[in-house]
């Protein structure tokens, strides 16, 4: 087993940093549908299924193909979807800027502690870049953006999660090996992407992803915990801890060695 020191935390955004899907992305896309004069509506039950497709544009296209087969699609459907998605993103940014999407338990504490401990911090997400910077600015303040060595987001790679592309891109940009990194994710697509790049992964599931499968997760929790608000363990060994701090991450950190891939 090749042993490396933990050098970097690679953070997913939606469902991990904050519960952005139910009251953020889902509300925003429904507002975009309404503003465009479409009678489409994604309730929570349908959205749970649609979340299996990552990427807002890809999700809209999947919805049309699967649920609106008789939709009179414009000649340039991809261009039309891109315009609709830009409208959705505008609504989403308004929701983020209103402060309605707080960081999940333990996120601000662990980001701060990891930054102070000298760990490299990076964002590795399927969502659009402006969604990330706006959420970080709103919830952590302008200066916190400097904590992140990289924001790898959205269309910067051809294939979104569960493909490992975005994680490979992040490793290349950071000049790090997978054995030096730990990913923090919330979904099956997320862990498949991270582990596909050989990166050990800690899961904090949410109401949308609690029934997903997380094969090989270092730890599966309901959130990162706070002193006085302990996490619940759903998989792995947390050594009796009640919240995730740098010390626990270093104790947990077991790089995925080649023989485990």
205 binds ligand XBP (CB under 6 A): no
Spatial distance between the Cα atoms of 16 and 105, rounded to a whole number of angstroms: 10
- Smallest gap from residue 166 Cβ to ligand XBP (A): 8
Check if the beta carbon of residue 194 is closer than 8 Å to that of residue 188.
no
* Residue 72 annotated in active site: no
26 binds ligand XBP (CB under 6 A): no
Q: Could you please report the per-residue DSSP string of 208-261?
A: TTTTS--TT-SEEESS--BTTB---EEEE--TT-SS--HHHHHHH-----GGG-
Residues 6+ apart with CB under 8 A from 75: none
21 binds Mg ion (CB under 5 A): no
- Smallest gap from residue 160 Cβ to ligand XBP (A): 7
Q: Which is nearer to ligand XBP, 127 or 180 (CB)?
A: 127
Pick out residues in 136-175 that bind Mg ion (CB under 5 A). none
Tell me the number of residues near ligand XBP by CB under 6 A: 16
- Smallest gap from residue 205 Cβ to ligand XBP (A): 12
Q: For 124, phi and psi rounded to 5 degrees?
A: -135, 100
Q: Which is nearer to ligand XBP, 94 or 230 (CB)?
A: 94
206 binds ligand XBP (CB under 6 A): no
Check if the beta carbon of residue 28 is closer than 8 Å to that of residue 98.
no
Residues 6+ apart with CB under 8 A from 113: 245, 246
**Residue 230 CB neighbours (<10 A):** 16
Candidates 122-130, 138-146, 196-204, 246-254; binding stretch for ligand XBP (CB under 6 A): 122-130
186 binds Mg ion (CB under 5 A): yes
- Smallest gap from residue 47 Cβ to Mg ion (A): 14
Q: For 29, phi and psi rounded to 5 degrees?
A: -70, -35
What residue number has its CB nearest to ligand XBP? 56
15 binds ligand XBP (CB under 6 A): yes
Which does residue 223 touch among ligand XBP, Mg ion, none (CB within 5 to 8 A, set by kind)? none
Spatial distance between the Cα atoms of 109 and 100, rounded to a whole number of angstroms: 19
* Residue 19 annotated in active site: no
List of residues contacting Mg ion (CB under 5 A): 12, 14-15, 186-187
């Amino acid at each position: 087993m090749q042993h490396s020191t933990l050098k970097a935390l690679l953070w997913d955004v939606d469902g991990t940093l904050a519960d952005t899907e139910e009251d953020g992305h889902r509300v925003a896309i429904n507002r975009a549908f309404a503003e465009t004069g479409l009678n489409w509506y994604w309730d929570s039950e349908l959205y749970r299924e649609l979340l299996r497709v990552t990427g807002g544009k890809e999700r809209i296209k999947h919805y049309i193909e699967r649920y609106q087969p008789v939709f009179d699609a414009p000649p340039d459907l991809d261009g039309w979807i891109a315009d609709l998605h830009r409208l959705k993103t505008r609504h989403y940014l308004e929701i983020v800027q209103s402060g309605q999407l707080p960081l999940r338990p333990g996120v601000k504490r662990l980001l701060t502690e990891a930054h102070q401990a000298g760990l490299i911090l990076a964002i590795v997400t399927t969502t659009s870049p402006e969604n990330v910077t706006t959420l970080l600015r709103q919830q952590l303040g302008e200066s916190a953006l400097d904590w992140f060595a990289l924001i790898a987001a959205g269309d910067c790679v051809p294939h979104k999660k569960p493909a490992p592309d975005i994680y490979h891109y992040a490793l290349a940009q950071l000049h790090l090996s997978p054995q030096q990194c730990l990913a923090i994710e919330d979904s099956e697509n997320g862990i498949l992407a991270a582990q596909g790049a050989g990166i050990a992964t800690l899961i904090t599931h949410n109401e949308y992803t609690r029934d997903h499968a997380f094969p090989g997760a270092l730890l599966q929790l309901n959130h990162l915990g706070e002193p006085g608000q302990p996490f619940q363990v759903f998989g792995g060994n947390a050594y009796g801890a009640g919240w995730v701090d740098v010390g626990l991450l270093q104790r947990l950190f077991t790089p995925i060695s080649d023989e485990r891939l």
